[in-house]
Structures are given as C-alpha cells and as structure tokens.
C-alpha cells in the first residue's frame, strides 16, 4: 500500500509524469535534454529527477560531466502499472531535443 501512495504522490505532478514518459520513449536522457524538450528550468528538473531516483523509478549513470537517466532496471509491479499507462501517452510529448554539448 505504501508503494502505491509513494508512486501516486510522485506522478501527481505533470512534470514528473512527462519526465517518465520522455525517458520511457527515448530510453535515456540527460538533464539538459529534459530541460530543453519540456521547457523547464534545470533546478526544477533536477529536483524532480532526484525524487524519482529516490523512489526507485529512475536510475542514473555518469558519462563525463553529464548524468544520464533511465528507467530502473527492475521495476516493481506497482511501477509497471504506471509505466504501461504512461506508454499510452508517448505521442503527446515533443521530440527529444538532443544535448548539443555532449
């Protein structure tokens, strides 16, 4: 029950839901790509990514000076339900704006 509440709180924010959908569609993204694509500030995106990482929704890896985010490798059954619903919305987001400084 606690996990469902945690996920509901995370995805009650439209920006976090958009970030999930973007990462689902493109498999991985860095902060600047998310910021540029969704037209959000870097501090806001970083705060959302931190919350999603702490909730074991996303994982990150270092690539030079960039941090690359992807869906967690082993989503639990509660997260899998959210992922399946989010996949239905993939076409609603703009094309990923690739980072030009990588």
Each residue's pLDDT tens digit, 24-35: 999 999 999 999
* Average pLDDT over all residues of the chain: 92
pTM above 0.85, yes or no: yes
pLDDT band at 102 (very low <50, low <70, confident <90, very high): low
The pLDDT of residue 92 = 82
Tell whether 52 is covered by a domain.
Answer: yes
Tell whether 102 is covered by a domain.
Answer: no
Q: Which CATH number characterizes residue 29's domain?
A: 1.10.10.10
If DSSP codes are grouped into helix, strand and coil, which group holds residue 102?
A: coil
Tell whether 96 is covered by a domain.
Answer: no
CA distance 28 to 47: 17
Tell whether 51 is covered by a domain.
Answer: yes
DSSP 61: E
Helix or strand run (H / E) with residue 58? strand 58-63
| Structural domain span for residue 33 | 2-86
The pLDDT of residue 37 = 95
In the chain, the number of structural domains is: 1
The pLDDT of residue 1 = 83
Tell whether 78 is covered by a domain.
Answer: yes
Number of C-beta neighbours around residue 65 at 10 A: 8
The tokens for 5 are 């509440």
Tell whether 92 is covered by a domain.
Answer: no
CA distances from 58 to 51, 52, 61, 74 (A): 9, 6, 10, 10
């Amino acid at each position: 029950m606690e996990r469902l509440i945690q996920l509901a709180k995370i995805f009650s924010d439209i920006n976090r839901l958009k970030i999930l959908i973007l990462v689902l569609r493109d498999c991985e993204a860095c902060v600047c790509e998310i910021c540029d694509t969704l037209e959000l500030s870097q501090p806001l995106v970083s705060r959302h990514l931190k919350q999603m990482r702490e909730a074991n929704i996303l994982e990150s890896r270092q690539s030079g000076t960039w941090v690359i985010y992807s869906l967690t490798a082993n989503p639990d059954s509660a997260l899998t339900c959210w992922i399946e619903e989010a996949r239905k919305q993939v076409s609603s987001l703009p094309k990923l704006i690739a980072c030009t400084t990588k």
